[in-house]
Chains A and B, each alone.
Chain A
Amino acid sequence: MTDPANNTPAIEMQGVTKVYGSGNTRVIAIKDIDLTIGKGEVVALLGPSGSGKSTLLSAIGLINPPTAGRIMINGTPVMDGPNEMVNIRRYRREHIGFIFQKSNLIPFLTAIENVLVALAIAGTTGRPAKKRATHLLESLGISDRANNLPSALSGGQQQRVAIARALANNPSLLLADEPTAALDGKLGRQVMELFRDLGHTSGAGVLVVTHDQRALDVFDRTIHLEDGVLTNQHEASTAH
């Protein structure tokens, strides 16, 4: 038999629904989502504005509990409806890397310090942390800017620091919400390729929300949300 751990998906969602508000202001942001993303699989999430992409991502990222449904990460049930099945703060720092449209760097810390913060949160400090942070910045080609404040970096450089920070603790899950929206086409594509290589070499599941049609060929798979429902899964079963 093969190692069962290798077949465990990075993410598994079953019937995940998120409802915001109540009464007249009730919004069903995502509805009955079933989704599986394998280890090392690099997936793009597409859909019109308001279709629920960010809601889906933040549910998986354990920052926005679903109203109903189950979420499993690496085979571990983490959310059952709005109930936390694990210490989610700990789960986030040990398993999940986030990247957003804005780089969200801490403005009064240098590039390397921003990466060191992520390491410190997970308990890595001192020389090993310094070494790891330097290595990460090197692998993203920005080690020469390590001691600059974010304000002294270009948009693309800031985003690469944010990626280095997201990767600091070797996450098994990388979640990115429109990470290239502020970058030009060429740089955006480079960032997407970086995600793909990361997924393929580290075995992390990667889910990227994007509007950029030009870089879609980089991904292993694309999925589409519309009005809170995954549509391409229907397409696959309904012949036109």
Chain B
Amino acid sequence: MALILYTLTLEKIHDIALLKLMGAKNSMILGLVLQESFFLGAIAYGIAYFLGDLVFPFFPRRVIVTNDMLIWLALAVVALCIAGSSLGIWKAIRVEPNEVLA
């Protein structure tokens, strides 16, 4: 997950350098990276939820999914998203605007 986010950010390093060159604040760039991360996180959560619905009935023991668990899982996903993007964010914040010229 972290690796995917990192690669996605790397892919856009040129665009991020461009945004900086145009004078974008770091907070805006941070927002963009996190937004992407949360978007992916939301998709993963959705897939996991439906997959769970499909698979759990075949488990030997009944799996009880409570609302509480779902909320905790959501929080975990959010935390993972932030952790996962930190490498990408670190890279994004360090990009020099003149990489656009390269």
Contacts and interface: CB of A to CB of B under 8 A. Distances in A.
A218 to B, nearest CB: 24
Give the most central of B18, B23, B100: most A CB within 10 Å.
Answer: B23
Interface string B55-73: 0000000000000000000
Interface majority SS (helix, strand, loop, mixed), chain A: helix
A160 B67 CA distance: 53
A209 to B, nearest CB: 12
Interface in B70-102: 97-98, 100-101
Interface size class of B (residues with CB under 8 A): 10 to 19
Nearest to B14: A104
Given A58-B101, A100-B100, A100-B101, A121 B24 contact: yes
A64 B24 CA distance: 16
A70 B28 CA distance: 30
Contacts of A120: 28
Interface majority SS (helix, strand, loop, mixed), chain B: helix
Interface string B12-38: 000100111111110010000000000
B15 to A, nearest CB: 5
Contacts of A96: 23
B19 A117 contact: yes
B26 to A, nearest CB: 8
A85 B23 CA distance: 16
